[in-house]
Amino acid sequence: MEKKGVAVTASLVFVALLSGILLGGTVARPPPVTITSQTTVEKTVTVAETTVEVPVKHQPAPYSALAYTVCIYDKTLPDEDRECDKNTKAVYIAINFRELGTENSYLRLDRVTVIAPGLVGNVSAEGMPLDAKGRVVVMPRSSASISVTTPVNDLFSFTNWMHDIGQITVIVHYENQQGEEIGTISIEGINVYERAWTFPRNQTEVAPGG
């Protein structure tokens, strides 16, 4: 009896499936699985950096420099010796400045240094415009100038330097109106032109030391 009951049950299930197919029915299937992907987008706000430029108060800058040989007539009159052979050979230097800062700068004429072997290094200069303390005033939107004549104290060394390097350097100290030193200006690469006298072309023309 149990075997018949199982057979009948199986038959009923088969008939039900077959009936569903013949009648156009569908067999129930599990619903499709839907996968939902959630992405979180973070909004980044970039704040532009602002650069604030602080104006420079003092920035005197050289814009031209000229140097050439001259003669200091300390032994004879100029019309007696045009070649400087019996007098002191020297170099004349003229430098022009403009102020790139917002306030006046003051050049110290008593602290000018010329750098080149064979030249007197620490020399006093002249210039314009001057203030009451004898300093050259470099004003914004204006120009100023200094000039210096430095003697040659070792012609042999200076001649060798000019043949090898061919240029000299001048250093100028500057300060504010109150007299507080701010810095120095180095004017490099100044060419020296031969005018009043020329550099010896060989070392037999000049002895070491003079």
Domain map of the chain by residue range? 60-193
With beta carbons less than 8 A apart as the criterion, state whether 181 and 173 touch.
yes
Q: How far apart are CA 160 and CA 162, in angstroms?
A: 5
3-state class (DSSP) for residue 105: strand
Give the pLDDT confidence score for residue 8 in this predicted structure.
45
- Tell me the pLDDT of the chain averaged across its residues: 82
Per-residue pLDDT tens over the stretch 145-169: 999 999 999 999 999 999 999 999 9
Per-residue pLDDT tens over the stretch 4-18: 444 444 454 444 554
pTM greater than 0.85: no
Is pLDDT at 176 greater than 50 in this prediction? yes
Exposure of 4 in the CB half-sphere (CA atoms within 13 A): 1
Pair of tokens at residue 190: 């100044």
Give the pLDDT confidence score for residue 51 in this predicted structure.
66
60-193: what fold? Immunoglobulin-like (2.60.40)
Per-residue pLDDT tens over the stretch 69-94: 999 998 888 777 667 888 999 999 99
Is pLDDT at 19 greater than 70 in this prediction? no
